[in-house]
Amino acid sequence: MSNLHLVVARLEACRGLCANAARHLEISRQLALRVDQPGLQAGLELVESSLGMYGGNLDRALAAARRGLELATLKDLRWALAGSATNLGFLALCSGDVDRAHRYLDRALRASGKCPSCAWRSRQLAHVSRLRWRGQGRRRSLRPVRRDYCQPAPSAVPGTISRTN
């Protein structure tokens, strides 16, 4: 039941309905207290961090991303580590800390490994592109962005969609 509310929270956030998303996130969190599922807890922190960024509450986003990164590292949840590190990289970039952003985004790319889905990688590459743009004019060089990190296989997409329905 907690997973269902977490999915609804994500959907509501994507629609821009932050209050509804926060309500479903809180319901999901309360239900998750009854079970010991690190993946669910990491997912909650990831959604809370993203919702905080979307809603402009960067302190909330930062705290949730840090909790998510800590849990993901402790339980070796690579997808959650990639997501939390990506959010932390973006938040560091927003605060103007290019070096820290670069470290988090590199960590996110390493964590995502050879993931069959390119969703994480494409978001990370977008952040790295912004990072490179922000770094222009400074006397330090950033490593080049490898565009081959994300090579989606169009034939795999219909199978993925059909398995989730």
**Torsions phi, psi for 139 (to 5 deg):** -95, 35
Q: Average of pLDDT values for 38-47? A: 90
Tokens standing for residue 154: 């169009």
Round to whole Å and give the CA distance between 57 and 61.
6
Tokens standing for residue 30: 């309360």
Mean pLDDT lowest among 49-53, 105-109, 110-114, 141-145:
141-145
Banded pLDDT at 102 (limits 50, 70, 90): confident
Candidates 142, 80, 90; CA nearest to 115 is: 80
Round to whole Å and give the CA distance between 16 and 116.
28
Domains of the chain: 36-164 (1.25.40.10)
As a whole number, the mean pLDDT across the chain is 75
Q: Comparing 104 with 164, which gets the higher pLDDT?
A: 104
Longest dimension (CA), the chain: 52
Round to whole Å and give the CA distance between 62 and 27.
21
Check residue 70 and give its pLDDT. Answer: 96
